[in-house]
Structure 1
């Protein structure tokens, strides 16, 4: 049992049915297609749907109580003893309930945001802390104004550490999530260009990500990418901890040694660690987990065990063996210019491959800066990269930019992703590594599947 309808009546005081009884609530959900039991149904309203229409399905599939917009007539089929909580707005009620439940269980909450790396950082943090604490984390993309409350309400009463990813598109959204979650620790992984179409500039993005401090608990800690100048204003705040490669950081990352299966590095020249992901950006993502774990009193051995055991969310520099032993790096979950350049740098540093191929697709939500930001990616494409394939009209300007240089690169601009497969099939052998990177909408993993 997570809580009861009786407990809910203390906070949502307009209700009918047997809400005053001690009816156990084990689940909170919005999707009536799922069979469940002992569940509270929350009907969400959107531009093209209204969850209130599915109350009967919710009851048939195991709901034992529900929120209800008090302005809507209650259907006659609702049993007289079925607990209904009348609210002004069911989404706000869901968020309020999540905040109340967070306070009831009172775990150590870690909120993570950033333009890139927040999911990988979340996975690192959860994996490491789970070695010493009962840990619950955001699953999939449940990181917005609906997903985050559902994540909180999904944790068991035994949870000691709650790791929450916080995503956004517009100003004010991270602030709202921060007030719901009340983090003890806030992490800002980096500032890139994601959602620049809505936020106007990288300065705007930095401002929006910094909203994570709004609901920070008193004496809470803020971990930031110390190499990012746009986060410098936060450094004057009490409790801010910087991680990065610059020697001015409180936690300095150095001695990085990398191959296609992982990276080794040290923190402050004192503690050596190893992760199963290549890339300097992933070293920095892992450093946030290490610092948090150290602050919670975990040993170096426990931390290393957690780093090694990390179960990475799919399509983040995911290494796959393809046909004829070719190595495929599936990084196709999403992309921004910053993350695409970081992945290209990883490819350049990988040893033991005689051919390195990039398959780069359109990056969306860049607005008026789309052309210039795509062109900027060409600046990092150089030997030992030897082949570049672009997918889509936006990404084609990467090839245009590379063609301006006196280069030996093999360049293939394609409009449709299927056009790339015959070219790639020429290079399927154990000496070749191929990177796939684009915005989520392009679903480049379908090419990966065709080559495995």
Structure 2
């Protein structure tokens, strides 16, 4: 990236910098502890801290300029010639700077939201498009009102396509992000149960995700999960649907899954292979294919991109475990929908005598959290051989399965991850595969690390 002095002057009410001085910002940052080169430090005022207190530390770590809230006292010891750009609100200025920089670079903007799969979809889109375009994408989960502007401001000047993940906890948040980014293409991966506690129902979740249309350009395209009835009412002038149903514009069929790859077709004519597991990842791939086709890419080039895709960590991440076993670390997050999808994937993989589920608590499910946990048991059947749960909420899954355990699956519940880890190790051999999944707060990746 490269932000010039005139861009900073444009968003500032006044500034303290030498006239004509050529400031070339290479990085925008909000954490004063981060080491940067030619950085613009933007101090954010939070509930428990005020970034303005850390300007001297930011300068030590590479800041060459800062935004500064009007009326805040400047720290003693500040170099006299250090450039300061005064603004009324540094958070709003961060957002404004992102808007201006986005307009200056003018890439194709792709926004991605959804209850599950948005990070994987973002990664797949980037892997495919990077074969023909200069791309930039959200790093990690920088998908909120601070992370998204920072992602935009880290975009290289030569970027042709930016892929922005948009997360939310409540109504209005996706609308804000969409209006900031003004996407050319907007994608809703699915509607699950995440944040149902705040949004009240799946209908509420759907309404919140559909806010991505609010900032969509007039000639923009909306790409939807065509198997989700709650989304099908949204038929704008340009809507593309992806899924397994016959009516989808991009219809998935001819699925063949093995332990190390998945084959499928789109509309019975284009054939693709991905090195990912699960029908949900096939659908995520279909969004990437739809985007690529819309931008004029051919099947061969799309496949090259799919071959090169590396998903962000802890999303159906397959590793060699102890004694030749296979560990699938899907511990980044979970909802009942995504947990069921992962279990169905486990059931479809060939070549394993022992299939072990390690499942934990799921959060933000509201008043129906017990029933939503118990609903997971409905998909736990042969060839699953073992269910191990951890946590008070995870135990509800075990209890529900025990009430109708016709397949005689071995079921155990544990209070601690350490206790569970101790009991799972004897189950691991070359014929074993283990799925580890729960909400982010459970941090079940610690179990996965002990099994490698």
TM-score normalised according to structure 2 size: 0.98
| Aligned-residue offset at 1:71 | 3.0
Structure 1 residue 23 corresponds to structure 2 residue 23: yes
The aligned residue for residue 368 of structure 2 is: 369
Structure 1 residue 340 corresponds to structure 2 residue 343: no
The aligned residue for residue 382 of structure 2 is: 383
CA RMSD of aligned residues (A): 1.1
Instruction: Find the aligned partners of 1:35 and 1:413 in 2 and give their Cα distance.
Output: 45
The aligned residue for residue 87 of structure 1 is: 87
Stretches of structure 2 that go unaligned for 5 or more consecutive residues are: none
| Per-residue deviation, residues 350-382 of structure 1 (Å, max 9, x unmatched) | 111111110000001112121010011011111
Q: Check whether the contact 1:18–1:82 (CA below 8 A) recurs between aligned residues.
A: no
| Aligned-residue offset at 1:69 | 1.1
| Aligned-residue offset at 1:13 | 3.5
| Per-residue deviation, residues 54-101 of structure 1 (Å, max 9, x unmatched) | 011111221111111113222343333222111121111101111111
Instruction: Find the aligned partners of 1:60 and 1:448 in 2 and give their Cα distance.
Output: 39
Q: Check whether the contact 2:194–2:335 (CA below 8 A) recurs between aligned residues.
A: yes
Q: Check whether the contact 1:335–1:437 (CA below 8 A) recurs between aligned residues.
A: yes
Q: Check whether the contact 1:323–1:451 (CA below 8 A) recurs between aligned residues.
A: yes
Q: Check whether the contact 1:341–1:377 (CA below 8 A) recurs between aligned residues.
A: yes
Stretches of structure 1 that go unaligned for 5 or more consecutive residues are: none
Q: Aligned in 2, Cα 1:175/1:355: closer, same or farther, shift over 3 Å?
A: same
Q: Check whether the contact 1:128–1:307 (CA below 8 A) recurs between aligned residues.
A: yes
The aligned residue for residue 223 of structure 1 is: 223
| Aligned-residue offset at 1:37 | 2.0
Q: Check whether the contact 1:186–1:212 (CA below 8 A) recurs between aligned residues.
A: yes
| Aligned-residue offset at 1:406 | 4.1
The aligned residue for residue 117 of structure 1 is: 117
Q: Return 317-326 or 76-85, whichever deviates more.
A: 76-85
Instruction: Find the aligned partners of 2:20 and 2:222 in 1 and give their Cα distance.
Output: 41
| Aligned-residue offset at 1:399 | 0.9
| Aligned-residue offset at 1:144 | 0.8
| Per-residue deviation, residues 157-210 of structure 1 (Å, max 9, x unmatched) | 010110111111011111111111111100000000111111111111111111
Q: Check whether the contact 1:322–1:328 (CA below 8 A) recurs between aligned residues.
A: yes
Instruction: Find the aligned partners of 2:45 and 2:307 in 1 and give their Cα distance.
Output: 42
Instruction: Find the aligned partners of 1:223 and 1:308 in 2 and give their Cα distance.
Output: 23
SS where residue 10 of structure 1 aligns?
helix
Instruction: Find the aligned partners of 1:374 and 1:20 in 2 and give their Cα distance.
Output: 62
SS where residue 40 of structure 1 aligns?
strand
**Any residues of structure 2 matched to 1:27-426 within 5 Å, and which?**
27-234=27-234, 236-407=235-406, 408-426=408-426
| Aligned-residue offset at 1:19 | 6.5
Instruction: Find the aligned partners of 1:58 and 1:398 in 2 and give their Cα distance.
Output: 48
Q: Check whether the contact 1:6–1:20 (CA below 8 A) recurs between aligned residues.
A: no
TM-score normalised according to structure 1 size: 0.98
Runs (4+) of structure 1 exceeding 3 A deviation are: none
Q: Check whether the contact 2:343–2:379 (CA below 8 A) recurs between aligned residues.
A: yes
Q: Check whether the contact 1:9–1:20 (CA below 8 A) recurs between aligned residues.
A: no
| Aligned-residue offset at 1:247 | 0.3
SS where residue 238 of structure 1 aligns?
coil
| Aligned-residue offset at 1:148 | 0.7
| Residue correspondences, number | 451
Instruction: Find the aligned partners of 2:429 and 2:95 in 1 and give their Cα distance.
Output: 51
Instruction: Find the aligned partners of 1:366 and 1:389 in 2 and give their Cα distance.
Output: 21
Structure 1 residue 450 corresponds to structure 2 residue 450: yes
| Aligned-residue offset at 1:103 | 0.6
SS where residue 371 of structure 1 aligns?
helix
| Aligned-residue offset at 1:344 | 0.3
